[in-house]
Amino acid sequence: MMLARQDLLAAWRRKRIRFEPDISPEQINLSSIDLRLGYIFTRQKAQPSVAIRPAQDFDPSGLVLTETLNGDQDILRLAPKEFVLAQTLEKITLPATLAAHVHGRSSLARSGLAIHATAPHIHPGFVGQITLELFNHGEWELQFFPGRDAICHVIFWEVKTPPLKKAIEILSTYSGQRTPYPPRRNR
């Protein structure tokens, strides 16, 4: 069952869903919570002769550039047809009883912005900033202020049978990630 505004407000006030930095009530919508763009971004290095197998164990360290923007003066610029990994400003902590999906905001999609390529799901027990797969489908350069602009929203779902803590620890591939494209933990 999807959580609606009154459920989201209650879960947030009771600290069932936690955010760091904390959100404001204005970020809570009818059935989602808006999250802001963080400061760390990862871009793929142009490597025309490199082929990777991302479904296998893969360490992207030498093939990506990670940058940190600082403060209100820096702008994330996303050129037409450009792909950038980003993170939400808010670190989220989910209990084992909730899962979530991250989605783009309609107002930004109308300018050509996609928030995720194929990875909207956030597992129960997740702790960390949410990685966003930003792609500019449009013809205009898009500009965003990290730390200020609401970039996505998250929808929360009740989990019928919560997984055990040990299962969450073993199966949580990217929980606690510090950059948008860290090496994947082996399971």
47-87: pLDDT as tens digits: 777 777 777 777 777 788 888 888 667 899 999 999 999 99
The pLDDT assigned to 174 comes to 61
- Residues designated as active site: 133
Residue 54 lies in a domain: no
Containing 9, the helix (H) or strand (E) segment is helix 5-13
CATH number, domain with residue 31: 2.70.40.10
The pLDDT assigned to 178 comes to 67
Containing 154, the helix (H) or strand (E) segment is strand 150-158
Residue 80 lies in a domain: yes
Closest CA to 77 of 134, 141, 19: 141
Question: How many structural domains are present in the chain?
Answer: 1
98-147: pLDDT as tens digits: 999 999 999 999 999 999 888 898 999 999 999 999 999 999 999 999 99
Q: DSSP alpha helices (H): ranges in 98-177?
A: 106-109, 165-171
Q: How far apart are CA 135 and CA 180, in angstroms?
A: 14
The domain of 9 spans 5-45+60-171
Local confidence band at 148 (pLDDT 50, 70, 90 cut-offs): very high
Residue 180 lies in a domain: no
Q: Which amino acid is at 39?
A: Y
Q: Does residue 170 surpass a pLDDT of 70?
A: no
Q: Does residue 34 surpass a pLDDT of 80?
A: yes
Average of per-residue pLDDT values in the chain: 88
Residue 16 lies in a domain: yes
DSSP states of 33-96: EEEEEEEEEEEEPP-TT----TTSS---GGGEEEEE--STT--EEE-TT-EEEEEEEEEEE--T
Local confidence band at 179 (pLDDT 50, 70, 90 cut-offs): low
The pLDDT assigned to 53 comes to 79
The pLDDT assigned to 70 comes to 81
Residue 120 lies in a domain: yes
